[in-house]
Structure 1
Amino acid sequence: MVTVTHLPGAQPDPRRWWALAALVASMLTLGFDMTILNVALPTMAGQLGADTGEQQWMADAYVVVFAALMLPAGLLGDRFGRRRMLVAGLAVFLAGSAAGALATDVPAVVAARTVMGVGAALVTPLALSVLPSLFAPDERTKAIGIVSAGSTLGLPLGPILGGWLLDHFWWGSVFLVNLPMAALGIAACVLLLPETRDPASPTVDGVSTALTATGLGTLVYAIIEAPVRGWADPLVLGTAVAGAGLIGALVLRERRAVRPMLDMTLLARRGFSFNALAATLVMFVLSGLMFVLPPYLQAVHGHDALATGVRLLPLMGGLIVAARVAQPVVARFGSRAVVSAGLTVLAFAALLGSRTTADSGYGFAALWLTAAGLGFGASIVPAMSGALGTLPADRAGSGSGLLMTLRQVGGAIGIALLGSLLAAAYRARLDTAGLARPAADAAGDSVVAAHLIAGRTHSPALASSADQAYVHGMGVALLVCGVAALAAALLAAVLLPGDPATRRVPDAPGPVMAAPTEDVRQ
């Protein structure tokens, strides 16, 4: 069977830019959902009675499923048709969003977020893999950059949009906003996209997919439960060992497979593995920060949801600015120097942020948030570019898929681990003397719950103690972020190849992937 994208002299599809606009709308929606829920979590915690662990699951359910299913989802598109699976992914995402808007308790929200993760896992790789059927090589780089920028733009807009919705509507509106965007994407895909597939791609390995999902989910469960039960608890120890064992079994299975779904041999390439590690650690820190910051701004400082979203802009602004200027700096100084410098700036910002007190003004937070954003952007773009630049052309698809999966795993672990550290430190520092046992337990669940109880019991001392305990816990999480970033900077300086990145990727920290070059048109 002949595999082509564009034949020489073929007329480009006049509808291709409209189709691209639909794909951008879809990726923008996914970008919203990476950050929009973080602003809503304090409000949801108060109205649903969610403790810190349950808030972690509401955030992590989406990311864990996203990470576990992204690679098999891409292979399903190759096998059964990319347009078909892209429409299916948007439909699943729409259904999950509708369920989230109608949810009335924490388990329902977690279930809805899980369904949304399935849809996002289908949409993300396929939105880029259909581009070769629409655009000739001279337009394709621009198209990939535009789609990636759509997801990137959703990151800073998510908190602001979420804050505005929460100020005017109920918390379910942060899910409801996805419905028209997903519906538009479905209609545009059906009307504008050609069907393409690649029957030569590896088959979907159900066992490997199950090992990925269960291993990652079990490990995240152990990390989230540890602050409540203790690391020595048999259930926590058992699930942690089981999770590590399942992931180890996945690695062994993929290494022995003739055509692996996760190409582990790529990790033997120093340039790929250490750049991938740097990008994964950046996502670890970014996801953790986006989890711990909104309660600080809302509960401790008393800002509403919209004001919280606006106050997160220094972080996102620094990230986007640094990402835009990263490529020319890499061309001059090399990827190793830029990645190391970016991680060092990130470490400095996190360590500075760990000095925050309950009395610190927003100006101090804006300072270290801006520095953190600059560090994020300066490190993740050249790290991604450097990783992909080490791959031969025939491994670009599998390499980019593995890189994106590792990034999502880093995000899931970041929310679980940093959120758990914060919860443990918060409980240890909170003073609940004089409270009845049920009220004391509830106040220890989250800073939002503590403020609600302080209002009901007319106890300003409890509110003050909760603020100081939360800031202490946030400081512990930021200290871990700073140490991790500094260690990554040292590893990058010593172990990354010294040559500048040779393969250019779009100047955006969104889900950059190398698009396949072979398609079979239907």
Structure 2
Amino acid sequence: MRPTPVRVRPTPVRRWLALGALSLAMLTVGLDMTVLNIALPTLARDLHAGTSALQWFSTAYTLTLAGVMLPAGALGDRFGRKKFVFGALVVFGAASIWCAFASSSGELILARVVLGVAASVLMSLSMGMIPVLFPDPAERGRATTVWITAVTLGMPLGPIVGGLLLDHFWWGSVFLVNIPTVVIGALAVGLLVPETRSRTRRPIDPVSVLLSAAGLVGLTYGLIRFGDKGWGDGTAWAAFAAGLVLIVGFVAWERTREHALADLGLFGDRGFRMGTFFQLINAFAMFGLFFTVPLYFQSVLGVDSLGSGLRMLPMIGGLLVASNFLEGLRDRIGLKPTLMIGFGVLAVGMGLGALTGVDTSYGYVAAWMVVVGLGIGLVLPTSMALAVGALTPERAGAGSALLSALRQAAGTTGVAVLGTVLSTRYHSELGSLNHEPVSDGVGSGVAYADAIGDASVLHHVRSAFVSGMDLLMVVCAAIAVVGLLLSAAATKGRATESGAPAPASESAPVA
């Protein structure tokens, strides 16, 4: 006879400590999205890696991250979220060690695939633990702010951490930095987090798993290749089209299943629908910005990768400041006005960024980056709180996985689309210089100008890039204005209904 599950509710101190450890682990996941970029020249030399291998070092992680999210959420709901998060932390640590000591390009790519699988499980289910650990809507909102801030901070911190490590150690150190956070996270999960799973033992449909994973990988690979090769690339269109067909087939298949892998019924909740949409448009603009600004620092201001990372600190500072006073603001004026203010601040910051010139001082750039950071720090946690507020403990894993997968897809789309906006303007502004190697990109253009020693060519190349970046900023500002208008049109009362605490009986805590 099976024992009756015992309800275990962690004390306030235990659950906040658990959240801190999970957030530290998520900071590492975000960091791993960008930390490798600074090590690519060293990897090319030490592992004799060609251009294709260098691209796959990053792409392998991103593709796996996208493809595994939905199955990870469903598996955690069915078999236990704690054990999957704990296992993912262990695998993440082991894969980090494998990456650090890889002796060939192929071995590093395989290790990055395993790292991506673990990161995907962590991203899906660590967020899914928030409704379980924090059933009170007010605490849940604060916990969501901490979690999403950690994820967001990891990306701009990657070049800083990577640069500091590479100045003193070998390239493998950029992966070994993960180990302390993984150990802390695993201990915290093992000691502080109760095991929970869905009471409904939903079967895992292999057809749904294959369709969702293959579809998301196809879409993501196509978008990555669009950003790299341009919109005329046949392989990119084939991958994107195949991914789109598979995703459409996945949605159609899910509608016929009694126990769906992706809980599409969540979109019937106004809070989840609104929060997800605001997350997507913010991710679209934010990922594009994170992709572009470091290029500006390196190619226009002429700093190295570490210097580029350090110059992102004003944005990080703005984000942290906003996160610190967000809860008080949200409690006083509500979710809708906070979103309106956040999108307004973001639009102003992007608009100021669009006025950047080739000879603009870094002081001006730092100022608008602070404003952008403030906007992101207001919009991202607030929109996340709207979406997470709709997740009962019963639906926590699958719902979090769906939100994470959509946010990742929106960010990848933003890099591809906004990168095309920048590239198109760059080529049009080059004029007579629109030929190889200058047309390959601003990095190649600057290297060419330096090689021939022509200051006028260098200024022309940099001016063309800044013109493209300014147009990109205008597009991002317009996206923020759309968010402002839509948040203004939302009904405050209905938008916050999802904050109601979930019934405790919907999830089965297990001793």
> Which TM-score tier does this pair reach, normalised by the shorter chain?
0.7 to 0.9
- C-alpha deviation, 1:257, in angstroms: 1.9
- C-alpha deviation, 1:428, in angstroms: 4.6
CA separation of 1:49 and 1:342: change in aligned 2, threshold 3 A: farther
- C-alpha deviation, 1:183, in angstroms: 4.7
Contact 2:76 2:197 in 1 (8 A): yes
Match of 1:521 in 2: 510
CA separation of 1:396 and 1:186: change in aligned 2, threshold 3 A: closer
Contact 1:220 1:416 in 2 (8 A): no
The correspondence of residues 11-410 of structure 1 with structure 2, limited to 5 A, is: 22-37=21-36, 59=58, 61-101=60-100, 112-127=111-126, 150-151=150-151, 154=154, 157-183=157-183, 185-186=185-186, 197-198=197-198, 200-226=200-226, 231=231, 234-390=234-390, 394-395=394-395, 398-410=398-410
Query: Which region of structure 1 is more displaced relative to structure 2, 467-476 or 186-195?
Result: 186-195
- C-alpha deviation, 1:29, in angstroms: 1.9
Q: In the aligned structure 2, how far is the partner of 1:379 from the partner of 1:98?
A: 36
- C-alpha deviation, 1:165, in angstroms: 2.0
- Residue 301 of structure 1 aligns to which amino acid in structure 2? L
Match of 1:437 in 2: none
Contact 2:272 2:498 in 1 (8 A): no
Q: In the aligned structure 2, how far is the partner of 1:170 from the partner of 1:425?
A: 38
Q: In the aligned structure 2, how far is the partner of 1:93 from the partner of 1:370?
A: 33
- C-alpha deviation, 1:230, in angstroms: 5.5
1:421-453 Cα distance to aligned partner (Å, 9 max, x none): 33444345446859xxxxx64544343344344
Q: In the aligned structure 1, how far is the partner of 2:442 from the partner of 2:148?
A: 36
Contact 1:287 1:414 in 2 (8 A): yes
Contact 2:339 2:383 in 1 (8 A): yes
- C-alpha deviation, 1:176, in angstroms: 3.2
- C-alpha deviation, 1:19, in angstroms: 6.3
- Residue 451 of structure 1 aligns to which amino acid in structure 2? V
SS in 2 for 1:260: coil
* TM-score, length basis structure 1: 0.79
SS in 1 for 2:355: coil
- C-alpha deviation, 1:251, in angstroms: 1.7
Query: Which region of structure 1 is more displaced relative to structure 2, 375-384 or 132-141?
Result: 132-141
1:341-363 Cα distance to aligned partner (Å, 9 max, x none): 32232223223212322211112
1:366-398 Cα distance to aligned partner (Å, 9 max, x none): 122111112112222222222344566755554
Query: Which region of structure 1 is more displaced relative to structure 2, 440-449 or 183-192?
Result: 183-192
- C-alpha deviation, 1:282, in angstroms: 0.8
Q: In the aligned structure 2, how far is the partner of 1:503 from the partner of 1:305?
A: 43
CA separation of 1:92 and 1:393: change in aligned 2, threshold 3 A: closer
Q: Given the alignment of the two structures, is residue 473 of structure 1 paired with residue 453 of structure 2, yes or no?
A: no
Q: In the aligned structure 1, how far is the partner of 2:269 from the partner of 2:383?
A: 14
- C-alpha deviation, 1:312, in angstroms: 0.8
CA separation of 1:274 and 1:58: change in aligned 2, threshold 3 A: farther
Match of 1:508 in 2: none
CA separation of 1:234 and 1:465: change in aligned 2, threshold 3 A: same
CA separation of 1:494 and 1:177: change in aligned 2, threshold 3 A: same
CA separation of 1:13 and 1:309: change in aligned 2, threshold 3 A: closer
- C-alpha deviation, 1:169, in angstroms: 3.9
Return the match for 2:443 from 430, 441, 448: 448
- C-alpha deviation, 1:297, in angstroms: 1.0
Q: In the aligned structure 1, how far is the partner of 2:428 from the partner of 2:172?
A: 33
- C-alpha deviation, 1:490, in angstroms: 2.0
- Residue 88 of structure 1 aligns to which amino acid in structure 2? G
* TM-score, length basis structure 2: 0.81
- Residue 510 of structure 2 aligns to which amino acid in structure 1? R
How many correspondences in the alignment?
506
Query: RMSD between aligned alpha carbons?
Result: 4.3
CA separation of 1:166 and 1:516: change in aligned 2, threshold 3 A: farther
Q: In the aligned structure 2, how far is the partner of 1:170 from the partner of 1:132?
A: 41
